[in-house]
């Protein structure tokens, strides 16, 4: 099937195209990107007034499948992803059972082909069962296409064991995705340590909880020469350390989530479980540092840390609520509203941080670009639509978001995966 996208504003980080172009698609790939393409196609999509971007690649999601399907599944997570313009996701391994060997990884990949509208890359755990006692089957998982390992949800506190895991990852040519959290410093904290936490009578989490492990992991990456991707950075000092690592030429990349570059701990007006996430919302100074880091190119990636929970797990005090926020369906709109519309980033920057750079980190040469020969993973984004986020419209099983009722500008109106339209409201 051939598809012709006409009149759209193509933004391509690879070729630097940034203007009105037509895009022709055939056999799942982009065959032409030209000013005007006059050919007969099986379907014509009029993208006038919209951006045509490479499909978004989210390096950090929790699909909860297998074992926690009441929170999310490959199917519901995939639907949420394409609604948000996300055509590839990296699913974290803290499922039940934990993704710690090649057979489990391969099974998820095979299931995802039939059950998920988005492409799923299942990441593997660093240690067996994420118990921090012995290394998982890193070689077997790499052969199964995991692309990276992560102990996400916690850090491997045994530095010697973690170093061994880094060495194994480097030998296999895959990336270490680091959740930076010193578990000995958390001390049952549930939000940022500040006066607001004291006002609400809640235990705080200091910046050092993240920063200590960020420093450790960068130094271990320097020693082992492994590619290190720092997940959901939330502090000003994390940004400083990523900057220093890059200045030294280390293979270190940093990720920021929309909730961390938009909201601060000051936005928590009452004890509400939907504001409980890990790492927590930080100070306004930290938020500004993250935004500046994104602007300067120090922080490479915008990802969601999409973490769905059942409503009863969040509809309680932060003392008892589960950590996590959903984000797949809102990340593009929140990024455009907060960073692009305000002039901090360009649409090109947005495409780089949400598609092109993630593709490079994963080594996916066939994605992250609107150019000839690339896979036709594309998103059509309408920057003129203004609306309020409504959790009741989410297709994800998770409705846990502090952004319910938040006004945004910009909406994904069409998503294509391998040249197939998997989400479409363009004609609405």
What per-residue confidence (pLDDT) applies to 145?
Answer: 98
Is residue 129 a part of any domain in this protein?
A: yes
What is the domain-level CATH number for residue 92? 3.20.20.140
CB 146 within 8 A of CB 165: no
Which H or E run contains 360?
Answer: helix 357-362
What SS3 class is residue 184?
A: helix
What per-residue confidence (pLDDT) applies to 153?
Answer: 87
Catalytic residue status for 152? no
Is residue 267 a part of any domain in this protein?
A: yes
What per-residue confidence (pLDDT) applies to 88?
Answer: 98
CB 49 within 8 A of CB 414: no
Comparing C-alpha atoms, which of 168, 166, 149 is closest to residue 94? 149
Intra-chain end-to-end CA distance of the chain, in Å: 23
Is residue 199 a part of any domain in this protein?
A: yes
Q: What is the pLDDT of residues 69-122, one digit of tens each?
A: 999 999 999 999 999 999 999 999 999 999 999 999 999 999 999 999 999 999
What per-residue confidence (pLDDT) applies to 225?
Answer: 98
**What is the number of structural domains in the chain?**
1
Is residue 120 a part of any domain in this protein?
A: yes
What per-residue confidence (pLDDT) applies to 427?
Answer: 75
Which H or E run contains 11?
Answer: strand 2-11
Q: What is the pLDDT of residues 7-29, one digit of tens each?
A: 999 999 999 999 999 999 999 99
Q: What is the pLDDT of residues 212-246, one digit of tens each?
A: 999 999 999 999 999 999 999 999 999 999 999 99
What per-residue confidence (pLDDT) applies to 268?
Answer: 97
Is residue 389 a part of any domain in this protein?
A: no
What per-residue confidence (pLDDT) applies to 388?
Answer: 98
Report the distance separating Cα 79 and Cα 407, nearest Å.
23
Report the distance separating Cα 143 and Cα 62, nearest Å.
22
Is residue 210 a part of any domain in this protein?
A: yes
39: CB partners within 8 A, 6+ apart:
2, 4, 24
The structure's pTM equals 0.98
Is residue 379 a part of any domain in this protein?
A: no
What per-residue confidence (pLDDT) applies to 313?
Answer: 98
Residues (pLDDT < 70) of the chain are 428
Distances (CA, A) of 4 to 1, 24, 43, 111, 155: 10, 5, 6, 30, 46
Is residue 420 a part of any domain in this protein?
A: no
Question: Among residues 100, 217, 271, 305, which one is catalytic?
Answer: 305
CB-based burial, 35-69: b 16+ in 10 Å, e otherwise: eebeeebeeebebeebbbbbbbbbbbbbbbbbebb
Supply the range of the domain harboring residue 336.
Answer: 55-362
């Amino acid at each position: 099937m051939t598809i012709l996208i006409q009149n759209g504003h193509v933004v391509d980080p690879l070729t630097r195209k940034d203007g009105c172009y037509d895009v022709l698609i055939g056999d799942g790939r982009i065959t032409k990107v030209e000013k005007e393409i006059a050919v007969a196609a099986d379907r014509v999509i009029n993208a006038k007034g919209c951006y045509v971007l490479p499909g978004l690649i989210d390096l950090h999601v929790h699909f909860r499948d297998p074992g926690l399907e009441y929170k999310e599944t490959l199917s519901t997570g995939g639907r949420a992803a394409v609604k948000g313009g996300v055509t590839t996701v990296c699913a974290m391994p803290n499922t039940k059972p934990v993704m710690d060997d090649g057979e489990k990884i391969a099974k998820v990949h095979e299931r995802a082909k039939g059950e998920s509208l988005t492409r799923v890359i299942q990441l593997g755990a660093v240690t067996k069962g994420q118990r921090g006692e012995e290394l998982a089957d890193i070689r077997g998982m790499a052969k199964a296409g995991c692309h990276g390992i992560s102990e996400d949800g916690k850090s491997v506190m045994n530095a010697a064991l973690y170093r061994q895991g880094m060495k194994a990852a480097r030998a296999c040519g895959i990336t270490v995705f680091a959740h930076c959290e010193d578990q000995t410093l958390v001390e049952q904290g549930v939000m940022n340590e500040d006066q607001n936490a004291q006002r609400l009578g809640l235990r705080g989490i200091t910046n050092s909880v993240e920063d200590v492990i960020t420093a450790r992991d960068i130094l271990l990456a320097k020693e082992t020469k492994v590619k290190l991707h720092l997940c959901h950075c939330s502090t000003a000092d994390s940004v400083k350390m990523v900057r220093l690592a890059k200045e030294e030429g280390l293979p270190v990349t940093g990720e920021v989530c929309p909730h961390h570059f938009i909201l601060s701990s000051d936005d928590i007006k009452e004890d509400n479980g939907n504001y409980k996430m890990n790492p927590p919302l930080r100070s306004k100074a930290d938020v500004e540092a993250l935004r500046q880091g994104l602007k300067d190119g120090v922080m490479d990636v915008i990802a969601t840390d999409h973490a769905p929970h059942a409503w009863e797990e969040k509809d309680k005090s932060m003392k008892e609520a589960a950590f996590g926020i959903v984000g797949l369906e809102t990340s593009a709109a929140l990024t455009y509203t907060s960073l692009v519309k305000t002039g901090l980033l360009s649409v090109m920057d947005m495409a780089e941080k949400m598609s092109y750079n993630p593709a490079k980190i994963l080594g996916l040469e066939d994605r992250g670009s609107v150019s000839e020969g690339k896979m036709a993973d594309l998103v059509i984004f309408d920057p003129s639509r203004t609306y309020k986020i409504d959790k009741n419209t989410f297709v994800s099983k998770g409705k846990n978001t502090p952004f319910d009722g938040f006004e945004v500008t910009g909406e994904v109106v069409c998503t294509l995966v391998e040249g197939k339209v998997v989400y479409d409201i363009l004609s609405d």
